Amino acid sequence: MFPNKLKIVLAVSMLGFGCNTLNPEKSAELGQHYLDHHDWARAAAEARPIVDAQPGYWKTQYVYGVAMTHLGDLAAAGRALERAYDAQPRNTTVVFAYAEVLFQANEASALYQVLRGAGADLHSAKAYVKLAEYAEKLNDLDSAVMALSAAIEVDDGFSGPMSSDAYYYLSVVQAKLGNADASTRRLRQAYGISPTDPRVLEALRAAGVSPDPSVALPPGA
C-alpha cells in the first residue's frame, strides 16, 4: 500500500500525463485526413477534444466546423468556423468554409461581408466569384454581376494566370437577365482566355457561335 501523500502525487502525475496526450497538431492532421475521405463523424470526434480544451487552435476549429457543417449542426459549425476565421481571415480555405456555413444558415448579409472582405483585402478573384455563385443561388443577380465585375477587375494577370471563371459565370448571369449580347461577349472573352474550357465551348455552340480563334475577345471590363 502507498502512503496517502504518495497516492496524491501519483494521481496528480497521471492527470498531467493525460493532459499531455492532447496533441492539437496531430489531431488537426488526422481530422483533415478524415475530411479528405468525407468521414465527417470521425473528423468531428478527432477534433472535438482540442476544440474544447484549446479553443484558440484554429486548425482543429476548422476541421470541426467543416465536419459539423456536413453533419448538419450549423450552430456548432458556425461557432467553430467563426473562431477559425477570426484567427485566419486571409486563409481562403477557411474563408470559403465559413462562407458555406453562413449560406446554409441563411446568413446572407454576413456571407456577403465575409466574401467581399476577402475579395478586397486579398485581391482575390476567387472570393468574388464565390460570392457571385452564392448570390446567384439566392436569386440576387445584381449582386452577382457586381461581384463578377469586381473579379474581372482584380484578375489582371499580374499575380498569376488569368482565369475564365468570372467571364463564364458573368455570361450565365447576363443570360438569366435577358442580356444575350452581353452574355455572348463574355463567353468570347472567356474563350480568349481558355480556348479549351469545355463549359465555354458548349455555351458558345449553344449561343450559335462556332468556336475558332477569330471569335476570341481580349479580357477586361
pLDDT at 159: 65
pLDDT for 61-99, tens place per residue?
A: 999 999 999 999 999 999 999 999 999 999 999 999 999
Give me the mean pLDDT over the 7-18 stretch. Answer: 37
Taking CA atoms, 199 is separated from 130, 148, 176, in Å, by: 17, 17, 16
Is pLDDT of 200 > 90?
yes
Residues sharing a CB contact under 8 Å with residue 80, sequence separation 6 or more, in sequence order: 51, 61, 62, 64, 65, 68
**Of 6-20, 38-52, 85-99, 202-216, which range is least confident?**
6-20
Dihedral in degrees, nearest 10, Cα atoms 49, 53, 54, 58: 30
In terms of C-beta density within 10 A (0-12 exposed, 13-18 middle, 19 or more buried), how is residue 88 classed? middle
Domain 24-106 bears CATH identifier 3.40.630.40: no
Report CA torsion sign: 135, 203, 219, 164. Answer: positive
pLDDT at 72: 97
pLDDT for 133-146, tens place per residue?
A: 999 999 999 999 99
pLDDT at 156: 77
Ramachandran angles phi, psi of 142, nearest 5°:
-60, -45
**Mean pLDDT estimate for the chain:** 90
CATH of domain 128-221: 1.25.40.10
- Give the domain ranges of the chain: 24-106, 128-221
pTM: 0.84
